[in-house]
Amino acid sequence: MVGGLLLMACGSTGRNHGAVSGGGTNAGGAAGIAGDGDNSECPTAAEVAPAALVRLTFGELGASLRQLLGEQAAAPIVEELEADGTNHAFPPLSAESEGPVIDERRLQTSDLLAERSAAYVREHFRDVTKCEPDYECVTAFVADLAQRAFRRALQDDELSALEHVVAEAEALGAPPEQGAEYGVYAVLASPHFLYRTELGPPAAASQTGEVRLSDDELASALSFFLTGAPPDEPLRAAATAHDLGSSDQLAAHVERLLASPKARRHLQRALGNYLGFPRLETIAVDTATYPEWNAALGLAMQHELDMLLQGTLWSGPLSGVLTSRSATINAPLASLYGVAFPPPGATLDELGFADVELPEGRAGLLTRAGLLTARTSRPAAAVPERGLWVASSIACDVVPAFPGAAPTQAPGTNPSERAKAEFRMATSPCLDCHAAFDPYGLALDELDAIGRFRASDAQGLPIDVSVTLPPTPRGPGTRVSGSRGLSTALADDFFATCMTQRFLEYARLYTAQDAAGERCQVRRLLAASNKPGEVSFSDVLTSVVLSHAFATRRR
Amino acid sequence: MGGAFGLSTLLSNLEASAEGAGSPPRFLLMYWPVGTVPSSFRPMGTGRDYTTSPILQPFEAAGLREDMIVLYGLSDKGLITTGSGGSEGGVVLRTTGANIPGTRENGGERDDAVAGGPSFDQIFLKNVARLSPLGSAPKYVNAIGDARVDSHETSCVCLSYDYATRSTPSATPGGSITENTPLLPELSPARLYAQIFAGFMPGGATDANQQELRRALQLKKSVLDYALTELERIRGMAPASERDKIDVHADAIRKLEQQLSARGGDPARCRLPEQPAAELIAPTGSTVDYGNPAGLVDESPVLAELGTRHTDVIRAAFQCDLLRVATFQWASAVDKVAFKGLKPGDPEGIYRHHPLSHRVVGSVDPLPSRDEDRDVVAFLANVHTWFNEKTATIVKSFKEATDVLGNPLLDTTIIPFVTDTADATHRRSPLPSLIFGGRALGIQGGQYQNFEGAPRPHNDVWLSIAQAYFPDAESVLVPLAAETFAQNPASFTGPIAGLWQKPK
């Protein structure tokens, strides 16, 4: 480990909570989209994202192939081209391998995906098309596939363009199997498959100002948001029948989809990506200082975090993520946590894990070994690193970028982390930024780089974890002690507001210019249909879908 | 599969490379047994101005100096061998770079090492997407010229180990042990040929093939034209802010169309080799003949033929881009290949290589004092030279070959040439190692580095090679961090300076 000097300094850019009023209540929401168009309680109107052409990620294309051609056809292609949606970005389109634009590199992958799928259709012609080798049947098959692939009905001229590709194959003397192959290839290479639109209905093409997404667009947006896959049959049917106009209708689909394991896995993975769970088994940890660290322990930590999310997201309030003492651990983790294992009467699963109730000090995400290991890339700078992460990811503070000023040394010989932090928080120009997040890091300083409790630091100095948290829009910061106190303080409706804000950004791939204003809108949204302290993850997601911002774009 | 298999594979891989990526990288691991004779191996001088040695002269004579890196003074330091034999453990350590957890219970000696991690051919295959031609199967092949052993060893006849593990009875430490599954090599060049080329239709051979290829190209263009038309349709509906996105996509499609029109690659360059004779098969069996190392017939011509046929198949597979990863093991680490006329003063004498190597009394470096031992050492040097002559012919054939994109095959193929032990005494240091090819990937041939004063771990050779496959990584240890060998920092230092430079 590298010990020593304070390595961060800060400019006087200040923080940005913005002027935010209280949550209030709203009796709306039962009929029509939730009435947050009334801006009397927030200083700014709800910010609407611009109309857009949204590229499907490779994972979404893979999921689409599974729906169109079946698992047996899609699985090898998806695996070969790594289109399985396991990139760790939040949202996935922000991953380096993805991006909003189909350039030459991404065209290579999407083109091969289309070509491989088309080759499968040729090789399994009868099974897939249900046709005899007959061009009339092939043409009908391609038209039907296009409608399912484009997630809407086709216009006549769109259909003609596709039929022309198939007709050309016939004219060149290609057998019907090859005609089907190139028809399918055209469908899957089409921009109508590779993108989804957020433009509003065709009739709105010449409008400016706010437009509501068409029913087909709304169905796609909702489905890809909640499941990472195209709309299923009930949702497509509702779109076709124009049955997505009311909050009740949308809420029913949300409830239906959130009950599915597929959606839960997708959304749990999304939250894990947001929280920045890397592949813990690949993290480099100094084994001279932490000899118990190895890849297997990293994997165990990963599993524990996954199970924590699984156990808290779908039952009880969202705050359970920060307060739950339930854990799924194995023997090495138990040793790290200092608990007996296996607990009396417990049954180990096939991986050697069992469900336990951790001691009071290990409540919630911020006290779990995996999270702390992931958030401690440099143990010598753990306080600001962890603090910054809590501020931006849990409290949704807007923290200015590091200005790159020269480092400043705290006074004294080998100052403690506390002394360094207090120096930063009291010294200009550092204090403007560090006062906003160092307290979070100090509260967590009782947990070392792999999440073990410690009473003293590497120099043998006692660790003081009593801090006054930064002020929030709700008022001055509270006094807390340690990781448990921090978790309790953060696990209020502000956390739910923060998650709603993030998932609204995720759903519409847009970050509001006025973050504080959007947070006000989000708080009103949650308060409209939820009691304080009882907001669940499902409530968060439902609120996102029912919001004006989700279903509306600006042309 | 019908002929369309070969054409669509070729077309796809042509397009994949035509789409700006150039010829793909390749990897061919080669191996020779029983180390070397240091005094005849070590060049004079170091760097680029070294004077070649008798054992390395065949490569110089074949014009391969600038395509070759010579390394000496490597070691297995930091690696645990757990009861394995010098030869047995040496092969496993060489190709996996990972600790050996124990030895296999095979009914013979108790020193048959098991692998504690995947081998580097599999590591690169897993971590380097471009080493897998899309759609092709198999993704790799392993071949061997002579698989005879002396105590039922598996370790001596295997370079390649899977990520998948299995349980196997153990001699050391006993009971059962978990090993990374050996991916045993193919003995028969004819079967290797069938494995790769079954159902493949060679390009350019018939009018029918050309007609089918033309139709496929035309239909592909029709698909791209359709996509462009639909992009234009969307462009009419989208706001101005989204038009850049559409334009980038359209430009990418147009570029692909241009490349198709220019016929970026020529399938005619993919020509199948002559189908190997079915009766040409690497010998197998387990016999102990240290007591009598004499042979009955000169087996080197057959071994040379096996090496030629196996590598002809591999080379053609690389040229046709059906395969980008392979291993070829000249012979078992305890090989019994009989060579005639390679022992000084005994032009008609026929001796088995590894058994005779056990007759050396004293050291190999410096040379032993007794004449009879010096004659044995000279025999070993001559055998190593023989392996190098044949390997030089093979490497030269890669240098003279081009792939379907018309690029020299050796320039994009990295050929590490490794051995199990330092010399006949089974020392684990100082090890020799060679690297051929890879010029277009940044490998800096034409040099010799000697680490005898401060031995480098052999894993550093793998890390040096890895740079060529991860040219944009800040450190190759990042993409390889999860690999088994990387969990043992004592077994590596890092890439060797000067062996690789990022291509422009």
Nearest CA in chain B to A299: B482
Cβ contacts of B362 within 8 Å, gap of 6 or more: B368, B369, B370, B373
Q: Is B21 on the interface with A (CB under 8 A)?
A: yes
Cβ contacts of A62 within 8 Å, gap of 6 or more: A74, A77, A78, A81, A83, A84, A85, A113
pLDDT the model gives residue B268: 57
The tokens of A481 are what? Answer: 């002690």
Q: Is B32 or A290 the better-scoring residue by pLDDT? A: B32
DSSP-based three-state secondary structure for B303: helix
Which of B128, B136, B222 to mutate to test binding with chain A, by most A CBs within 10 Å of its CB? B222
Long-range contacts (CB closer than 8 Å, 24 or more residues apart) made by A464-467: A464/A418, A467/A439, A467/A440, A467/A442, A467/A443
Kindly provide the residue ranges of all beta strands, DSSP E only, lying in A424-506, ordered along the sequence: 466-468, 479-481
Cβ contacts of A216 within 8 Å, gap of 6 or more: A151, A152, A239
DSSP A475: B
The tokens of A551 are what? Answer: 């279903």
Residues of chain A with Cβ-Cβ distance to B247 below 8 Å are none
Residue with tokens 């921090």: A486
**Nearest CA of chain A to the CA of B131: how many Å?**
12
- First CA to last CA distance, chain A: 53
Across the interface, of A80, A107, A186, the residue whose CB is closest to B223 is A186
pLDDT the model gives residue A256: 97
Cβ contacts of B245 within 8 Å, gap of 6 or more: A53, A55, A100, A101
Residues of chain A with Cβ-Cβ distance to B223 below 8 Å are 165, 182, 185-186, 189
DSSP per residue, B111-146 = --B--SS--HHHHHHHH-GGGS-TT-S-SEEEEES-
CA gap A274, A504 in Å, rounded: 13
| Helical segments of B238-289, H only | 243-261
Q: How far is CA A19 from the centre of its chain?
A: 27
CB atoms A100 and B246 under 8 Å: no
What is the predicted ipTM?
Answer: 0.85
CA gap A424, A437 in Å, rounded: 11
Counting every residue written for chain A, the total comes to: 555
CA gap B165, B31 in Å, rounded: 24
Q: Is B66 or A109 the better-scoring residue by pLDDT? A: B66
Which of B211, B226, B488 to mutate to test binding with chain A, by most A CBs within 10 Å of its CB? B226
Least confident of A24-28, A199-203, A235-239, A318-322: A24-28
Q: Is B252 on the interface with A (CB under 8 A)?
A: yes
Residue with tokens 């990520």: B163
CB atoms B222 and A101 under 8 Å: no
The tokens of A534 are what? Answer: 């009882």
**What value does the mean pLDDT take over residues A231-254?**
96
Across the interface, of B134, B223, B246, the residue whose CB is closest to A112 is B134
Q: Is B452 on the interface with A (CB under 8 A)?
A: no
The tokens of B113 are what? Answer: 């090492």
CB atoms near residue A316 (< 10 Å): 15
Q: Is B284 on the interface with A (CB under 8 A)?
A: no
Residue with tokens 């160092």: A438
Given a contact cutoff of 8 angstroms between Cβ atoms, the answer to whether A93 and A100 are in contact is yes
CA gap A77, A55 in Å, rounded: 20
DSSP-based three-state secondary structure for A403: coil
CB atoms B249 and A52 under 8 Å: no
Q: Is B258 or A279 the better-scoring residue by pLDDT? A: B258
**Nearest CA of chain A to the CA of B363: how many Å?**
39
User: Mean pLDDT, chain B, as a whole number?
Assistant: 88
Least confident of A516-525, B304-313, B320-329: A516-525
Residues of chain A with Cβ-Cβ distance to B16 below 8 Å are 108, 112
Task: Evaluate the omega torsion of the peptide bond into residue A342 and state whether it is cis, within 30 degrees of 0.
Answer: yes
Across the interface, of A52, A173, A182, the residue whose CB is closest to B223 is A182
CB atoms B239 and A555 under 8 Å: yes
Q: Would you place residue A36 in the very low, low, confident or very high pLDDT band (cuts 50, 70, 90)?
A: very low
CA gap B65, B58 in Å, rounded: 10
CA gap B260, A331 in Å, rounded: 58
CB atoms A108 and B16 under 8 Å: yes
Is A206 a residue whose pLDDT tops 80? no
CA gap B101, B179 in Å, rounded: 8
Question: Measured between alpha carbons, how far is residue A173 from residues A128, A138, A177, B216 in Å?
Answer: 22, 15, 11, 11
Is A282 a residue whose pLDDT tops 90? no
CA gap A364, A360 in Å, rounded: 10
pLDDT the model gives residue A441: 94
CB atoms A295 and B482 under 8 Å: yes
**Nearest CA of chain B to the CA of A369: how many Å?**
19
CA gap B442, B103 in Å, rounded: 38
**Nearest CA of chain B to the CA of A101: how many Å?**
6
CB atoms B239 and A281 under 8 Å: no
CB atoms near residue A511 (< 10 Å): 14
CA gap B367, B375 in Å, rounded: 10
**Nearest CA of chain B to the CA of A439: how many Å?**
32
CB atoms B230 and A192 under 8 Å: yes
Given a contact cutoff of 8 angstroms between Cβ atoms, the answer to whether A228 and A59 are in contact is yes
What type of residue is B355? Answer: P
Which of B7, B131, B233, B245 to mutate to test binding with chain A, by most A CBs within 10 Å of its CB? B245
| Residue B30: strand pairing partners | B328, B417
CA gap B370, B364 in Å, rounded: 11
Taking alpha carbons only, the member of A426, A514, A461, A501 closest to residue A3 is A461
Given a contact cutoff of 8 angstroms between Cβ atoms, the answer to whether A147 and A190 are in contact is no
DSSP B269: G
Interaxial angle between packed helices B4-16 and B207-237, expressed in degrees from 0 to 180 and rounded to the nearest 10: 50
Given a contact cutoff of 8 angstroms between Cβ atoms, the answer to whether A346 and A355 are in contact is yes
CB atoms B234 and A172 under 8 Å: no
Phi and psi based region of residue A209 (left: phi greater than 0; alpha: psi -120 to 50; beta: remaining): left
Taking alpha carbons only, the member of B481, B488, B495, B502 closest to residue B123 is B481
The tokens of B438 are what? Answer: 């890879």
The tokens of A174 are what? Answer: 């290609």
The tokens of A498 are what? Answer: 């923060």
DSSP A395: S
Q: Which residue ranges make up each domain of chain A?
A: 53-197
Given a contact cutoff of 8 angstroms between Cβ atoms, the answer to whether A489 and A478 are in contact is yes
Question: Measured between alpha carbons, how far is residue A92 from residues A227, A232, A325, A468, B107 in Å?
Answer: 13, 21, 30, 36, 54
Judging by beta carbons within 10 Å of its beta carbon (0-12, 13-18, 19+), is residue B484 exposed, middle or buried?
Answer: buried
Taking alpha carbons only, the member of B484, B499, B414, B485 closest to residue B451 is B499
Q: What is the CA radius of gyration of chain A?
A: 26
pLDDT the model gives residue A202: 84
- Per-residue HEC secondary structure of B429-444 comes to CCEEEEEEECHHHCEC
Residues of chain B with Cβ-Cβ distance to A197 below 8 Å are 234, 237-238
Cβ contacts of B201 within 8 Å, gap of 6 or more: B2, B3, B4, B5, B6, B7, B209
Q: Would you place residue B200 in the very low, low, confident or very high pLDDT band (cuts 50, 70, 90)?
A: low
Structural element, H or E, at residue B179: strand B176-182
CA gap B131, B463 in Å, rounded: 17
CA angle A87, B131, B15 (to 5 degrees): 90
| Chain A contacts in chain B segment 32-71 (CB below 8 A) | none
pLDDT the model gives residue A415: 81
CB atoms B230 and A164 under 8 Å: no
Q: Would you place residue B308 in the very low, low, confident or very high pLDDT band (cuts 50, 70, 90)?
A: very high
CB atoms B129 and A82 under 8 Å: yes
pLDDT the model gives residue B303: 97
Using one digit for the tens of pLDDT, what is the confidence trace for B313-369?
999 999 988 889 999 999 999 999 999 999 999 999 999 999 999 888 778 888 888
Residues of chain B with Cβ-Cβ distance to A174 below 8 Å are 215, 219
Nearest CA in chain B to A179: B219
* % of chain B residues with pLDDT over 70: 90
Structural element, H or E, at residue A110: helix A104-123
Kindly provide the residue ranges of all beta strands, DSSP E only, lying in A290-400, ordered along the sequence: 326-329, 354-357
What type of residue is A393? Answer: S
Tell whether pTM > 0.80: no
Using one digit for the tens of pLDDT, what is the confidence trace for B8-55?
555 555 555 554 457 889 999 999 999 999 999 999 999 999 999 999
- First CA to last CA distance, chain B: 41
**Nearest CA of chain A to the CA of B258: how many Å?**
13
What type of residue is B364? Answer: V
Contacts A–B by Cβ distance under 8 A: 122
Residues of chain A with Cβ-Cβ distance to B220 below 8 Å are 182, 185
CB atoms A191 and B218 under 8 Å: no
Instruction: Set out the domains of chain B in order of their start, with CATH numbers.
Output: 27-196+281-486 (3.40.720)
Is B234 a residue whose pLDDT tops 60? yes
Given a contact cutoff of 8 angstroms between Cβ atoms, the answer to whether A440 and A387 are in contact is yes
CB atoms B227 and A107 under 8 Å: no
CB atoms B249 and A178 under 8 Å: no
pLDDT the model gives residue A84: 64
CA gap B414, A215 in Å, rounded: 55
Task: Evaluate the omega torsion of the peptide bond into residue A278 and state whether it is cis, within 30 degrees of 0.
Answer: no
- Per-residue HEC secondary structure of A415-437 comes to CCHHHHHHHHHHCCCCHHHHCCC
CB atoms B227 and A192 under 8 Å: no
pLDDT the model gives residue B202: 52
What type of residue is A71? Answer: E
Structural element, H or E, at residue B326: strand B325-329
Residues of chain A with Cβ-Cβ distance to B21 below 8 Å are 108
